[in-house]
Structure 1
Amino acid sequence: MNLYDLARGLHILAVIAWMAGLLFLPRLYAYDVEQNAKPEPLRGEMQALLRLWQTRLLRIILNPAMILAWGFGLWLIHIDVSARGAALLAEPWMVAKLIGVLLLSGWHGFLAAQRKKIAAGTSKYSGKFWRMTNEVPFVLAIIMVLSVTTEWTFG
């Protein structure tokens, strides 16, 4: 086993954990927001449980997985640039991948900020919004994975 294979395997594992959390958290938000239409005794207990799950998902899975995905990804870039040269970073497929990573990280930040707003009752988003945007990470993942596996270029 070489270092590149190790870095790639660890990166894939971290991304799987990150994606799982990013796909699940909006669903928890949808359930939470929809509790507002229910009577208080049921709503309070369920929202407390949902908010506990949201907090734990962010702190125990999502945040560490994102940090590890970034760390192992940067390690992969370092190995690739050392072997193939810095021009690699300007390749269209790599630019698409890096933009996808930035967008995914931004989505992660948005979700983290929304947890606090949902808990405070100040979020303006509905359950329908959370269900509609639930697939944002997967669409970005499709673009990033296909970019990296095909290493497409123009021309």
Structure 2
Amino acid sequence: MLWVKALHIIFVTTWMAAIFYLPRLFVYHVQALNESDTRGSERFKIMERKLFNGIMTPGAVLSIVFGLWLWLGYGISGAWLHAKLTLVLLLVAYHALCWKHLRAFRDDRNTHSDRYFRIINELPVFLLFGIVIFVVVKPF
């Protein structure tokens, strides 16, 4: 089970790195659009797609797979786990929100400002803090 735990941690780290970086790319993409930089915009579309499909989504899927494996293997239970899983579901919803924005940029339909993306870029930080605290401290 230690290998499963190690793989879970690796893929959570991968997922979180990508989930922190994608909205930052959206900020830069908006700035390129504001400067009428079509070549830059097309470059950002490629970077966003590759990050989302090649790193972020596989990281999310494998985090969840290995997390479920740990849960079933250890028979973990408790209120802290329910709280953690709630935050993980919110993180999955955030992932879906990023996918929605990715499609909007791909189709040249983005209506949000770089300020909006700077703000939503901070949301997963709070989810990560909560998840780690629930797992390590198990406050209830």
TM-score by length of 2: 0.95
Q: Please give the secondary structure, in 1, of the residue aligned with 2:63.
A: helix
Distance 1:74 1:29 in 2: 31
Between the two proteins, the alignment pairs up a number of residues equal to 140
Report the Cα offset of residue 119 of structure 1: 2.2
Question: How large is the RMSD of aligned CA atoms in angstroms?
Answer: 1.1
1:56 — aligned with what?
Answer: 50
1:93 — aligned with what?
Answer: 80
Is residue 40 of structure 2 the alignment partner of residue 46 of structure 1? yes
Is residue 135 of structure 2 the alignment partner of residue 145 of structure 1? no
Runs of 4+ in 1 over 3 A off after TM superposition: none
Distance 2:85 2:135 in 1: 10
Amino acid at match of 2:73: I
1:25 — aligned with what?
Answer: 22
Distance 1:30 1:8 in 2: 34
- Percent identity between matched residues is 28
In the alignment, structure 1 segments of 5+ residues that lack a partner are none
**1:54-93 pair list within 5 angstroms:** 54-81=48-75, 88=77, 91-93=78-80
Report the Cα offset of residue 133 of structure 1: 1.2
Q: Please give the secondary structure, in 1, of the residue aligned with 2:6.
A: helix
1:133 — aligned with what?
Answer: 120
Report the Cα offset of residue 109 of structure 1: 0.8
Report the Cα offset of residue 16 of structure 1: 0.3
2:92 — aligned with what?
Answer: 105
1:115 — aligned with what?
Answer: 102
Report the Cα offset of residue 36 of structure 1: 2.1
Residues 15-69 of structure 1, C-alpha deviations (whole Å, 9 max, x = no match): 0000000000001011111222214xxx111011111100000111011111100
